[in-house]
Amino acid sequence: MTGGMSVLFKISYCAPDAPVAFAARELRKYLKLIYPEAEIVVLRGDAARAEFDGALSLRIDESIGKEFPAVKNPALDDCISIDVSGGVGVISGVNARSVLIAAYRYLRELGCAWLFPGPGGEKLPKSASVRKSVRLCEAASYRHRGMCIEGAVSADHVLNVLDWLPKVGMNGWFSQFFTPFAFFDRWYSHIGNKTLNSEPLTLEEIAALSDELVTEIQKRALMYHSAGHGWTCEPFGIAGIDWEQRACEVPPESVKYLAQVNGVRGLSDGLPLNTHLCYSQSEVLERMTDAAAALCARKPEISYLHFWLADGQNNHCECDGCKDTLPADYYIKYLNLLDEKLTAMGLSTKVVFLIYVDLLWEPREETLKNPDRFVLMFAPITRTYASSYAETLSAGQSPELAPYRRNRLLMPRTVAENVARLKKWQARFSGDSFIFDYHFMWDHFRDISGMKISRVLFEDMRGLSALGLNGMVSCQLQRAFFPTGLGVSLMAAALWNAQADFETEVTRYFKSSFGRNWRGALSYLKTLGTLCDPAYLRHERPQADIKAAKDFEKAARLVKAFIVKADAEAKAEASSRTGAPAPWGVLRAHADYALLLLDALQHKARGGDRRVLYAKWRALASWAMRNETLLSDVFDVYYFMRTMKNIILRDEIALF
């Protein structure tokens, strides 16, 4: 577009699906931002058919998926086709969600980038060729490409995430619990940040807020996952809304249903969510499955209902009725009954069952009678992130597995042990499955640069098919994009294309984020990552370590030198936009954070006085609290306070 000439874009769509109409509106919005002088009209229905010539047409076309083995079910698997030249052509997908993903992909080919959720992560080209041809036809490598709510969030934070997911090719979101109270309460009550005024919401207000967000999920046709923990308490009159230890009265009539551990029936460490039940009791079986079936009937918008047992480990019932049956056998029995009830009600809701802690030990007797109803979810929460699944598989490790010993289990720490436990389950269930992993829940705080954990996450996603898994729902903080959004963006890229190349994707991300001086930003973070070994912050190395101390000193000098360059870039970036910090602004803020953290780590690695170390921790925590509002979209202070305090103030080597 030259000389101020107006270019006419006609965007047409015929599909009645609301997400396709949303895709048309999004396409118009971004084309108008790229070409502000262009005239853009959106045509729908019969008008779209009549005006197809010269239009950019959005369509649902199941036929495009036929040549891709990954597209086994056009309603669940995503496939896109783009054939556009000069702003005219067809953008199609096998379902409404795929059409939206395809529209964003076309915009990405024009130069748009969505680097992390929120306005600061959006980069649009200053100019783009309206004549550019875009021709591609692709299917996602994996069916499940989602994110699970965690951390502390506001409604806007979640809306930003929901808006971002399809822009990078993701297709699902998981709202934990019957009502995701804990996550919103942490933000609105500002738990862990005394510098902000608490503005708590009631359970009812958060439930209403959550329902509004479901509308946003449906607008984008995202796969909606719901529930999870809570089935072992809510149906028995016990609230299950968070993991905080608190006084909780159990209705007297429900005490008999609680697991008996060490001869006592009661809450496990006072936590309802961590409390198992006496699964041998028929009343427990009926109540739990009735409640799950009722929720599916009440909320047909749920694509995947997560039906889990309690959280925690080594806390199963030891009574005479339970002690001789594996938890996994009881679990399968419950799942089969739930399937029977859903079938009788004519409901097709998929049910996700959880392979996690004690349930990593596979059943001996029971099998799922209707495998098509179920999706296996593998959650290796005790694994290390020092290595990827790909490294483990290439090493061909075959660890010896310990037998099941009720409430005396040592959870598998290595990747190899976790994979071996998964294989035991897969020998009994060959249906749909995905991994539920935690790379950006805690471990990203242990990698100052974010570069090493990003590589592990990328390789994990590339290797999921070798594990027999069909994707990932990432259990992670919704605001885990500090110092960059590289890791989560790489996750999205590898879930869409398991053949993606790491260096190519990193280069693409840094060019989009940091512009002309992207090489300087990348070199800085790579060097910072080399000097700051995540194994030290994981307590997988001795904490009194002179070599580590010297590396932390070198890292601090690197950061100080980089600040001079980052200042200029951040100022230039800020002058061209308003609102939340963009990539250079985030990286500049991270430099201040890194200096405070490195100061504490140097002192710790040299075996310094603990009182001084505590003061250094307080300085870092104070910085985080002061900057929470500024970095609201990318940095979760609630989980930072919980995780980093443990990293800095614990002295021993800790494997868990």
243: how many CB neighbours lie within 10 A of its CB?
Answer: 14
Beta strand residue intervals within 215-272, DSSP E: 223-228, 260-261, 264-265
DSSP 72: S
How many angstroms separate the CA atoms of 618 and 622, rounded? 6
Tokens matching residue 594: 């890194």
- The backbone torsions φ and ψ at residue 124, rounded to the nearest 5 degrees and listed phi first, read -115, 145
Beta strand residue intervals within 438-496, DSSP E: 471-475
How many angstroms separate the CA atoms of 327 and 314, rounded? 11
Which is nearest to 140 in space by CA: 106, 108, 94?
94
First-residue to last-residue Cα distance in the chain: 58
How many angstroms separate the CA atoms of 314 and 360, rounded? 12
How many angstroms separate the CA atoms of 454 and 444, rounded? 9
pTM: 0.95
Tokens matching residue 333: 């029995």
Tokens matching residue 573: 């970036």
Q: What is the DSSP string of 579-639?
A: SS--HHHHHHHHHHHHHHHHHHHHHHHTT--HHHHHHHHHHHHHHHHHTTTTTTTTB-HHH
pLDDT reported for residue 1: 41
How many angstroms separate the CA atoms of 9 and 86, rounded? 10
pLDDT digits (tens, 9 = 90+) for 288-298: 999 999 999 99
Which is nearest to 464 in space by CA: 495, 487, 493?
495
How many angstroms separate the CA atoms of 380 and 419, rounded? 9
Mean pLDDT by 10 residues, the chain (656 residues): 63 88 96 90 73 84 96 97 94 98 97 96 83 93 98 98 98 96 96 93 96 97 97 94 80 97 94 96 98 98 97 95 97 98 98 97 97 98 91 78 95 92 96 98 97 98 96 98 98 98 98 97 98 95 96 98 95 73 96 98 96 96 96 96 93 43
pLDDT reported for residue 333: 98
pLDDT reported for residue 246: 66
What DSSP element (H or E) covers 645?
helix 637-649
SS3 content of the chain, % helix, strand, coil (to 5): 45, 15, 40
CB 13 within 8 A of CB 21: yes
Q: Is the peptide bond before 36 cis (omega within 30 degrees of 0)?
A: no
**Regarding beta strands 172-176 and 223-228, do their DSSP bridges make them parallel or antiparallel, or are they unpaired?**
parallel
Indicate the angle between helix axes 518-531 and 502-514, nearest 10 degrees: 120
How many angstroms separate the CA atoms of 565 and 579, rounded? 22
pLDDT digits (tens, 9 = 90+) for 218-250: 999 999 999 999 999 999 999 988 888 666 889
Q: What is the DSSP string of 399-428?
A: PPPPPP-TT-PPPP-SHHHHHHHHHHHHTT
CATH architecture of 144-512: Alpha-Beta Barrel (3.20)
CB 379 within 8 A of CB 475: yes
CB 103 within 8 A of CB 26: yes
pLDDT reported for residue 46: 66
Domain ranges in the chain are: 8-138, 144-512, 514-649
Longest dimension (CA), the chain: 85
How many angstroms separate the CA atoms of 653 and 545, rounded? 12
CA 301-381-644 angle, to 5 degrees, is 105
416-423: long-range pairs with CB below 8 Å, 24+: 416/392, 418/360, 418/380, 418/382, 418/383, 419/389, 419/392, 419/393, 419/467, 421/355, 421/360, 421/361, 421/362, 422/355, 422/378, 422/380, 422/467, 422/468
159: how many CB neighbours lie within 10 A of its CB?
Answer: 16
> What CATH class has 8-138?
alpha beta
How many angstroms separate the CA atoms of 159 and 269, rounded? 34
Q: Is 265 helix (H, G, I), strand (E, B) or coil?
A: strand
CA 636-301-180 angle, to 5 degrees, is 30
How many angstroms separate the CA atoms of 363 and 355, rounded? 11
622: how many CB neighbours lie within 10 A of its CB?
Answer: 12
How many angstroms separate the CA atoms of 292 and 289, rounded? 5
CATH topology match: 8-138 vs 144-512: no
Residue with tokens 């490195």: 598
How many angstroms separate the CA atoms of 226 and 177, rounded? 7
Which residue stretches of 196-281 are H helix? Answer: 203-219
Three-state DSSP string of 281-318? CHHHHHHHHHHHHHHHHHCCCCCEEEECCCCCCCCCCC
Q: Is 52 helix (H, G, I), strand (E, B) or coil?
A: coil
Which is nearest to 146 in space by CA: 461, 453, 456, 381?
461
Specify the length of the chain in residues.
656
CB 42 within 8 A of CB 75: no
**Regarding beta strands 304-307 and 223-228, do their DSSP bridges make them parallel or antiparallel, or are they unpaired?**
parallel
